[in-house]
Amino acid sequence: MAKIIIILLIGLVFEAVGVIYLSAGLKEIGEVERVTPSEIARAIGRGVTNKKILLGVLFETIFFCALLYLLSQRDASLIWPLTSLGFLVTVLAAKIILKEEVSWVRWAGVICIVIGAGIITWSEKMKERKAEELKAAAVATSPQK
């Protein structure tokens, strides 16, 4: 389980930094003022040449590769909810790197997410413990040769 958590945390750092770079890059290219083909083409052209957006996409891709690995190793019902810890990492990165103001209400929401992720991790430990108990009981009741 420790290996899974370490890979998840590393992946979440890549995700958070990717989101920060995407946000900064999108702010650099500006909003689409009118929804016209030429305006959309302009925004896309600026986006695909923006270094921050490209770096953000790279980091998000690394996170996605880590996620694919994790989902191949453990239950989706464990891994996917644990990715919500990315909210904590992303809010911290936004506060530190982008100097965003984060209200106490947002921090309270992030704390609720972390508590939920902790409960999910605990449920996995209970699942593993029950499997070990069943295995031990099966060995104890099996006829000896």
pLDDT (tens digit per residue) in 120-137 = 878 877 877 777 777 777
Q: Report the predicted TM-score, pTM, of the whole model to 2 decimal places.
A: 0.74
* For residue 87, pLDDT beyond 60: yes
Per-residue model confidence (pLDDT) at position 144: 66
- How far apart CA 5 and CA 121 sit, in angstroms, is 10
pLDDT band for position 84 (50/70/90)?
A: confident
What residue type is 2 in one-letter code?
Answer: A
Instruction: Answer whether 100's CB lies under 8 Å from 94's CB.
Output: yes
The most confident of 38-42, 43-47, 69-73, 124-128, by mean pLDDT: 69-73
Instruction: Answer whether 74's CB lies under 8 Å from 125's CB.
Output: no
Tokens of 83: 């990715």
Question: Per-residue pLDDT averaged across 91-97, rounded?
Answer: 92
* For residue 145, pLDDT beyond 60: no
* For residue 95, pLDDT beyond 90: yes
For residues 124 and 88, which has the higher predicted lDDT (pLDDT)? 88
Closest CA to 82 of 71, 93, 91: 71
- How far apart CA 143 and CA 82 sit, in angstroms, is 41
For residues 33 and 8, which has the higher predicted lDDT (pLDDT)? 8
Per-residue model confidence (pLDDT) at position 56: 97
37-48 vs 2-29: helix crossing angle, rounded to 10: 130
pLDDT band for position 65 (50/70/90)?
A: very high
Per-residue model confidence (pLDDT) at position 66: 97
Instruction: Answer whether 79's CB lies under 8 Å from 67's CB.
Output: yes
